[in-house]
Amino acid sequence: MHHMRCTCLRAFARGLGAAMTGDPTAARAELARLEKLREATASRKQAYWVGEIDLQAGVVQGLTLCAEGKRDDCLETLRTAAAREDASEKHVVTPGRLVPAREVLAYAMLGAGNAEAALREFESVLEQEPNRLAAFTGAAEAVERAGNQTKANEYLAKVTELTRTADTPIKEVAQAKRLVGR
């Protein structure tokens, strides 16, 4: 199963990357790959991993719809994926999910101009994963767009705290510095 999990993570990561950079054709190719991997996993009667692949496919599908300009369908698909992820339990021997579906939903909402709804989703992610850097950065951007610079600075201070010992540039740190400079 380790090989299958790695293959799924690669397809998931490539699908996310393609959709987020505006290449829905490449994203759909990775979505098709995830669906084939799901079928192979289902034939081995590995229900937990089938569910995980379904979640990954839902996130990639949602972002692909965004890349295709279908914003409402995108958000609805991501909401469904986030709800399914909330209802599922992560296997005790596996690391955390690469990207929580709810975080992807929050960034999509931010991209759609709904900062207040995005903030609620980012805060929900932070309740589950209290030190998630990308969620702090997103929350900071959401409250800053909503006009609350004081609260944004609180989130940005957490970004600084989490990255204090980082020895390489991190995109979230650059984003935090850009937001503080506004």
Give me the CATH number covering residue 112. Answer: 1.25.40.10
pLDDT at 164: 84
- Specify whether the CB–CB gap between 109 and 97 falls below 8 A: no
Which pTM value belongs to this model?
0.84
Q: pLDDT digit string (tens) for 69-116?
A: 999 999 999 999 999 999 986 654 455 678 999 999 999 999 999 999
Q: Range of 4's domain?
A: 1-99
What pLDDT score does 65 carry? 97
Give me the pLDDT at residue 82, please.
Answer: 96
Last residue of a domain, one of 99, 114, 146: 99
**Do 86 and 14 reside in the same domain of the chain?**
yes
Cα separation, 50 vs 109, whole angstroms:
27
Residues 112 and 160 in one domain: yes
* Domain identity same for 1 and 79: yes
Rounded CA-CA distance 60/105 in Å is 11
Query: Which of 99, 123, 154 is the endpoint of a domain?
Result: 99
Same domain membership, residue 138 and residue 53: no
Q: What is the 3-state secondary structure (H, E, C) of 65-98?
A: HHHCCCHHHHHHHHHHHHHHHHHCCCCCCCCCCC
Q: Are residues 11 and 81 in the same domain?
A: yes
Query: Do 121 and 89 share a domain, yes or no?
Result: no
Question: Which of 71, 99, 127 delimits the end of a domain?
Answer: 99
In this prediction, residue 32 carries a pLDDT of 97
- State the Cα angle at 77 between 28 and 83, rounded to 5°: 130
Question: How many domains does the chain divide into?
Answer: 2
**What Å distances lie between residue 45 and 7, 39, 77, 89, 147, CA to CA?**
18, 10, 26, 18, 50
**What is the C-alpha separation between 113 and 49, in angstroms, rounded?**
34
Judgement on whether residues 95 and 119 belong to the same structural domain of the protein: no
18 with 90, same domain? Answer: yes
- Check residue 179 and give its pLDDT: 56
**Do 11 and 92 reside in the same domain of the chain?**
yes
Residue 92 and residue 180 share a domain: no
Same domain, residue pair 122 and 175: yes
Q: What is the mean pLDDT of the chain?
A: 87
How high is the pLDDT of residue 91?
Answer: 52
Range with the poorest average pLDDT among 28-42, 47-61, 87-101, 117-131: 87-101
Q: Among 102, 105, 161, which Cα is nearest to 126's?
A: 102
Is there a single domain that holds both residue 7 and residue 72? yes
Identify the pLDDT of residue 168: 63
